[in-house]
Amino acid sequence: MPQDKSRNALPQGSLDMLILRTLLAGPQHGYAIARHLHKASEALIQVEEGSLYPALHRLERRGLIKAEWGPSEANRKAKFYSLTPAGKKSLKIQTSAWQEMQRAIGSIMNYRPVET
Amino acid sequence: MSSNELQQDTGCRKETRDPAALADEVGDELMFHFRSLVDDKLAAGLSFDDAWKEAEGQFGPMRRYDMECRMGQIARHGRRRRLAAVSCFVVAVISGWFVFQSHRNAEQGQLRDEIALLRQEQAALKADAVRGGYARQIAGGFDLTGSVVDDSGHPLENVTVLIIRKTWPGGGYRQEAFTVTTNDRGRFVMPEFVPSDDQYGIQVSALKEGFAFQSVYQLKDKQPIARPDPIALRLEHAAPVTLVVRDGAGHPLANVAVIPSARKTPGGNDYMVYFHGSEPVRATTDATGRVCLNCFLAGDQAGIFLRIPGEDWSNREFVVAGENQVVDVATNETKRDPDGS
């Protein structure tokens, strides 16, 4: 079924943060990360699952995550990603920036001009 | 922060591995994800072509993501190598494309081969069943699919799946028994197994040595007739129970046939094995009158079918107290000469 990409599209730059947040629970391969994002967002966030891989490789190059090949649950070769200490630090920073942005947007959306 | 400090802090490093090997890794990684998507959709009951199409839609353009990953790896090679990397890039993209395509075709071919082998096996089974007087397959019918995993979620191979099919052809009633075993991915499929235009019931029991058996029943009797829900069973590790069968005089009875028939868990779940078609899971007592059943959990109210040689089948029940329990199963015989006279 073709996906309507305009609905529930991820805000730019947030995929990295969501990946780091998912890996806080422990090492996972890309497929498990995709399943977690789908389930935890109650299928509201729709991303093409292949887009995870350029993001994962980018995070790996930046040293925020590291990767290791190992057997999957079905005993197939899979690449497992895990957070580095730098990744945990970055996640904290990104989370607090995102929360500030949320507060700022919320203030604007709830703004009611004072009537004079 | 100096570049050395930055490297130490972030773990950033210059990539020194062979780009061709890295390119192969990207292909492997993407194909693992894609194949997992296809497998999940096959397990959900989709046909191979539908599973593949849905997986393609869900994954997105694989070529594009493959290329993005490879281009990122080229950038990792640092300034001094960049010129050589750019000229290698064209070759890498072209050869990578062929590697990817052959990899993708090989994966697709491998999946198709598995389906084809499965269909050949089922055609042979169908031929056997027809010779036996009834057909396993119902032309135009719905497939029955299922998967069995252990309590850690790992697929369980060689699980004996006993299936009772109930149909009501022409207002009558027919009950048939079938057996299938799960493959190395813990899955089984019975193609064209239940009618698509008339009510049916299926009782599925899954048994494997060392695991507490489970069963599930589905009845589809409302028009339009629905396809069966995929069977998904998660088996827990069992508590071994040794049954000792003795006669009234206390002598052990050998060659007593025993079949696990029911288990009611402390949580109130009921599982059963129909007697019809249960031969594959039949066990017999040894010369000491003992047989080990490794298919219940501690706390279960367990039921068994039991037959002493020369007699009819009967039922017995007991509570599984814990691991390695020995249950003495009394019979109704009051006297038996152990020498047979």
A34 at interface of B, judged by CB pairs closer than 8 A: yes
pLDDT of residue B2: 38
Q: What is the mean pLDDT of residues B308-322?
A: 88
Longest Cα separation, chain A: 70
Three-state SS annotation for B205-258 = EEEECCEEEEEEEEEECCCCCCCCCCEEEEECECCCEEEEEECCCCCECCCCEE
Interface test with A, best of B3, B7, B17, B36 (most A CBs within 10 A): B36
Inform me whether the pLDDT recorded for B81 exceeds 80: no
Quote the CA–CA distance of B303 and B316 in Å, as a whole number. 6
Interface test with B, best of A3, A16, A19, A31 (most B CBs within 10 A): A31
A38 at interface of B, judged by CB pairs closer than 8 A: no
Question: Between chains, do B155 and A74 touch, taking CB under 8 Å as contact?
Answer: yes
Inform me whether the pLDDT recorded for B340 exceeds 50: no
Inform me whether the pLDDT recorded for B156 exceeds 90: yes
Bridge partners (DSSP) listed for residue B175: B166
pLDDT of residue B251: 87
Tokens 């249950």 locate to: B327
Helix (H) or strand (E) holding B62: helix B62-75
For B206-231, write each residue's pLDDT tens digit: 999 999 999 999 999 998 999 999 99
Find the residue in B nearest to A51 (Cα).
B65
Looking at beta carbons, which residues of chain A come within 8 Å of B53? none
Q: Helix, strand or coil for residue B182?
A: coil
* CB under 8 A, 24+ apart: contacts of B313-321: B313/B257, B313/B275, B315/B261, B320/B239, B320/B241, B320/B296
B69 at interface of A, judged by CB pairs closer than 8 A: yes
Quote the CA–CA distance of B36 and A32 in Å, as a whole number. 10
Quote the CA–CA distance of B160 and B263 in Å, as a whole number. 17
Q: What is the ipTM of this complex?
A: 0.85
Contacts of residue B191, defined as CB under 8 A and 6 or more positions apart, other chains included, come to B119, B122, B137, B143
**B338 contacts B253 by C-beta, under 8 angstroms:** no
Residue A45 — very low, low, confident or very high, per pLDDT cuts 50/70/90? low
Q: What is the mean pLDDT of residues B47-56?
A: 81
**B124 contacts B130 by C-beta, under 8 angstroms:** no
Inform me whether the pLDDT recorded for A95 exceeds 50: yes
Say which of B9, B29, B72 has its CB closest to residue A61: B72
pTM of the model: 0.50
Bridge partners (DSSP) listed for residue A65: A83
B72 at interface of A, judged by CB pairs closer than 8 A: yes
B12 at interface of A, judged by CB pairs closer than 8 A: yes
Question: In angstroms, how far is CA B88 from the centroid of its own chain?
Answer: 46
Helix (H) or strand (E) holding B50: helix B48-59
Quote the CA–CA distance of A25 and B339 in Å, as a whole number. 67
For B115-126, write each residue's pLDDT tens digit: 565 555 555 555
Q: What is the mean pLDDT of residues B277-286?
A: 92
- Percentage of the residues of chain B whose pLDDT score is greater than 70: 73
Query: Between the CA of residue B100 and those of A100, A114, B62, B64, what are the distances in Å?
Result: 43, 62, 9, 12
Inform me whether the pLDDT recorded for B305 exceeds 60: yes
Question: In angstroms, how far is CA A16 from the centroid of its own chain?
Answer: 5
